């Protein structure tokens, strides 16, 4: 990727100096990330109960408290990541401003919140294990930058475009919220969840297509994005966690499906190519 540092976006909230504590998730639509998915999957299989429902019900209870630290202690690696995600955020939001304007929809900027360990959001309290997530309650994307090391080391998806894909996917959920897709599909169960996630993958690809036209993303970067999409497929995560695959519990789509929809958006650059709610979601590779 070709990107430049130095951007200081007002859309980025650096809350890494805060420390969180207290109970668990407070409900309100928290979108589970990769790490949290694996943890809840293992517990659900162990206790033979769908613990994913706790995210919506607020059954985990408790009201977390937050103390704001005096300053952010950062490493050179984190400093670079802050500049990188700020660049990706700004370019992606500029892309969506233009694309939605073509459809007569005004894009509203999302905020990116950087945190460590735990964070309060309008969707409840989340820990690092939740992974990156979008909260429709406050229109913010939350990410612990340490997730990118996990993406590279644990899930085998290195590269800057893999990192950009993660953020672009979460911004895809913001686009769904602005278009009303998220609200319409919210009570549709696992099938609707899969279709929402695959559409967010496709929207991430649409941004990649536009970034390619601007010379930010190079053709050689595509494979890093596809590797990241494959790394977080339900089938692969379940196999890593338990050694078995249970399609009935899928919430995000298989590795094959995630790769296919991401590439569809990347190849076409069109929102109308991302209609995952029509027909089968398995469109091949």
Phi, psi angles (nearest 5°) of residue 55:
-65, -30
Tokens 């893999």 belong to 162
Q: How far is the C-alpha of 27 from the C-alpha of 68, rounded, in Å?
A: 23
Q: What are φ and ψ of residue 226, in 5° steps?
A: -65, -40
From CA 61, how far away is CA 170, in angstroms rounded?
26
Q: Which residues, at least 6 apart from 271, have a Cβ–Cβ distance to it below 8 Å?
A: 99, 103, 203, 206
Task: Summarize the confidence of residues 122-148 as an average pLDDT.
Answer: 92
DSSP states along 50-67: -GGGHHHH-TT----EEE
Per domain, the residue ranges of the chain are: 12-274
Cα–Cα distances (Å) from 209 to 183, 204, 214, 221, 283, in that order, read: 27, 9, 9, 11, 19
Phi, psi of 171 (to 5 degrees): -65, -25
Q: What is the pTM of this model?
A: 0.81
Task: Give the pLDDT score at 52.
Answer: 47
Summarised one tens digit per residue, pLDDT across range 226-281 is 999 999 899 999 998 899 999 888 999 999 999 999 999 999 999 999 999 988 88
> What are residue 133's DSSP bridge partners?
142
> 55-90 pLDDT, tens per residue?
443 333 333 333 334 467 889 999 999 999 999 999
């Amino acid at each position: 990727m070709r990107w430049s540092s130095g951007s200081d976006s007002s859309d980025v909230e650096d809350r890494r100096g805060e420390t969180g504590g207290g109970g668990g998730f407070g409900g309100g639509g928290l979108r589970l990330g990769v790490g949290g998915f694996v943890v809840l999957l293992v517990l659900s299989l162990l206790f033979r109960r769908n613990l994913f429902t706790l995210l919506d019900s607020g059954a985990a209870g408790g009201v977390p408290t937050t103390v704001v630290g005096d300053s952010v202690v950062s490493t050179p690696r984190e400093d670079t990541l802050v500049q990188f995600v700020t660049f990706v955020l700004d370019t992606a939001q500029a892309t969506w401003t233009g694309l939605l304007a073509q459809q007569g929809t005004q894009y509203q900027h999302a905020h990116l919140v950087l945190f460590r360990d735990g964070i309060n959001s309008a969707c409840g309290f989340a820990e690092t294990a939740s992974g990156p997530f979008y909260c429709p309650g406050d229109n913010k994307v939350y990410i612990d930058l340490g997730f990118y090391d996990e993406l590279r080391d644990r899930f085998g998806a290195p590269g800057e475009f893999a990192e950009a894909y993660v953020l672009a996917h979460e911004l895809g959920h913001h686009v769904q919220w602005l278009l009303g897709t998220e609200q319409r599909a919210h009570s549709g169960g696992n099938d609707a969840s899969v279709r929402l996630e695959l559409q967010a993958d496709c929207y991430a690809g649409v941004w990649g297509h536009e970034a390619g036209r601007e010379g930010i993303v190079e053709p050689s970067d595509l494979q890093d994005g596809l590797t990241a999409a494959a790394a977080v497929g339900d089938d692969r995560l379940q196999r890593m966690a338990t050694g078995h695959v249970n399609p009935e519990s899928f919430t995000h789509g298989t590795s094959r499906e995630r790769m296919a929809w991401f590439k569809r958006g990347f190849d076409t650059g069109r929102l109308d190519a991302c209609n995952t709610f029509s027909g089968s979601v398995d469109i091949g590779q």
